[in-house]
Structure 1
């Protein structure tokens, strides 16, 4: 079994090297798998954290199958915010970057609590969109996500909601439901409208003030602020208190955030929006290099390479033992015409984007979630939607950290870039 896994790994590495740059967005998976092949004694102990990298199954790689006749997708990402040192942070929100919304019928809004460093992001669909989800993480925190099951009687959703505050933040859903009801949106029943708003939460209680969590008023404010032309990126909305690279806790982590990206092919447009609060390091899928992640010391910018440390058998002390306090929340919206089962298939494929940009991904302390909605304008193959979604998700994760602001609490990508520029690196 060990031999067959190693042979398949080597085959996968050769295929990755044969890809064009645009198709290489899962290349870093080989590096993580190689760590396991070099440390077989760790394979059993790391089976859960690296479950998505099971090299005995090729299903997880289908969205980026190099034998596909579909041409490489065109990716659109926002321009990173300029670097700035920790000692000169601007006011909250001044350095956010807007990203164009390309899907008709979609509007996105953010709201946040400046003191608590937490917030919410809402995705409104008018008319309602066919949607499904894939809860790949084992530490998920959701509400009304059962409506996304293909066999569920609800035919479409009115909104998605991402919240901070962990399970406490799920209470904010009531504000979104009330707003939707007041605006005549929801499933018609004999006794009134019942809006459908699947919600997922990140754990950000350890970043700002954990006693202040998103509530109904915040979600209603996000709905009121929703725009159909552009959405802000960075430390906004559900990404306000997000962090990444938490092997040694938040003190040695870096700032995560909210990011967006678009992948398109002919008339098919797929947009991904993420709140990146991952346990693992965020890596550039093209190079495999870490761009934000766990650091060797609270005052250092040197990355420890979480996946490598775990593969070598290192474990943090019991005082900072990793806990289920991490996740990447992903909303994918496509202008495709799909049914719920096809949406779920595409959502599963979209998860490959998390694997491409986070290392290790989908660990036992992550609650990764993909919600995928199809607005019905273009006839499309769900496999193509999933493949484009994976590319967009990976780039949205990169955008989330590149636009993030650490508020002077933890360093952000721009702070590290500023330090490198000062040091002449």
Structure 2
């Protein structure tokens, strides 16, 4: 297996990522948006932390109506930061993208937050709708959408006393299916191997991915004192694939990605974390042998309506279809490969976040604390 072209979430064709942040004047926070391809994307979610802050997650229950979402928002600001999703929703609505209803469309924008309140000096300096709109705009043009580090939702992140941030990773399976993850690492737990100073997530790297790193010197490990629990935290993210999945299977993908989170962060899912992961499918690749909705081999069903994001002009008379249902769903072996990859790419994404994070007062970067990991 190899990584995709950018080793990031955008290796899943059709996904776009935008970051916006504010630093200074009391701010150290930001927002990241993942935009769906023109047809929208199937999504599921799994919440494991005891202190989550989320929006629209109930819609992702397989029992509920909406089959496609149009964006995912990851943001700082704790519960205050959920308003960033309103800016993304406004941009989508202006573009005529959303769930068709009488008179127009309603964009579906699930969101999750990290706790970074006060890390720039002012408690209420948080993301708002304007910052969400900036992240949306960046996703439509930015060539740096794959960037790792202290950007977007990871701007004010801290992980076990070290500077946290956003990390991404991808893998292309032998079948040609791509699986990728993006993590906003802001954990109360440690990202370090308990036996030393190595980043736990690097153990799941692809050949050559982390070969430039080595075990830090013992004196550096002994000198580092990890942070104790002082506030709420939370690691959030997404794991995505181009293979066609159902909502239930996307939820399972999100759940297995939590295994990757727990491999890279210890402890995970604590009472002061709100760990939340979204599972996404762009449905670009049918499982081998699957038939398309409405084809003669499969036969039309009452649910074979419009499955793409719909403009206001085309909303009337269209209905969402449950993508990936029946013979479109992957077999057990194919799904197993995607799930296994989902856990590993999330662990790798956590490691990349820590390697690229920028240090600051009170939250030094991993590279600053353990320079010998690079042979220095």
TM-score calculated relative to the size of structure 2? 0.75
Instruction: Give the secondary-structure state (helix, strand or coil) at the position aligned to 1:231.
Output: coil
Task: Describe the shift of the 1:74–1:302 C-alpha distance in structure 2 as closer, same or farther (beyond 3 A).
Answer: farther
Q: Aligned residue for 1:283?
A: 192
Report the secondary structure of 1:173's partner residue. Answer: helix
Distance 2:337 2:131 in 1: 36
Distance 1:302 1:225 in 2: 40
Listed as ranges, the matches of 1:338-377 within 5 Å are 338-377=245-284
> What secondary structure, in the 3-state scheme, does the structure 1 residue paired with 2:354 have?
helix
| Structure 1: gaps (5+ residues) | 1-72, 79-97, 246-252, 293-298, 307-315
Deviation at 1:152, TM superposition (A): 1.4
Gaps spanning 5+ residues in structure 2: where?
A: 201-219, 288-329
Tell me which residue corresponds to 2:159. 244
The answer to whether the Cα contact below 8 Å between 1:77 and 1:395 also exists between their aligned partners in 2 is no
**1:124 pairs with 2:35:** yes
Task: After TM superposition, list the pairs within 5 Å mapping 1:270-309 onto structure 2.
Answer: 270-283=179-192, 289-291=197-199, 302-304=223-225
Over 3 Å off, 4+ runs? 73-78, 227-230, 287-292, 303-306
Task: Measure, in 1, the Cα distance between the counterparts of 2:95 and 2:54.
Answer: 24
Are the aligned partners of 1:239 and 1:276 in contact in 2 as well (CA < 8 Å)?
A: yes
Q: Deviations over 1:161-204 (max 9, x none)?
A: 00100000001111010001011110010132100010000000
TM-score by length of 1: 0.66
User: Root-mean-square deviation (CA), in Å?
Assistant: 2.7
- The whole-number CA distance in structure 2 between the counterparts of 1:326 and 1:277 is 6
- Provide the residue aligned with 2:367 in structure 1: 414
1:322 Cα shift?
4.2
In the alignment, structure 1 residue 109 sits paired with structure 2 residue 18: yes
Closer/same/farther in 2, CA of residues 77 and 357 from structure 1, 3 Å limit? farther
Aligned equivalents of 2:129, 2:282: Cα separation in 1: 27
Shift of 1:76: 6.1
Equivalent residues of 2:180, 2:345 under 8 A apart: yes
Alpha carbons of structure 1 residues 110 and 185: separation in structure 2 relative to 1, 3 Å: same
Compute the displacement of 1:235 (Å): 0.3
The Cα of 1:141 is off from its aligned counterpart by: 0.3
Aligned-pair CA distance for 1:384: 2.0
Q: Distance in 2 between matches of 1:101 and 1:179?
A: 20
Deviation at 1:284, TM superposition (A): 5.7
Higher percent of residues as strand? 1
Which of residues 38, 46, 49 is equivalent to 1:137? 49
Partner SS state of residue 206, structure 1? coil
Out of 236, 249, 260, the position equivalent to 2:168 is 260
How far apart are the structure 1 equivalents of 2:365 and 2:53? 26
The equivalent of 2:236 in structure 1 is 329
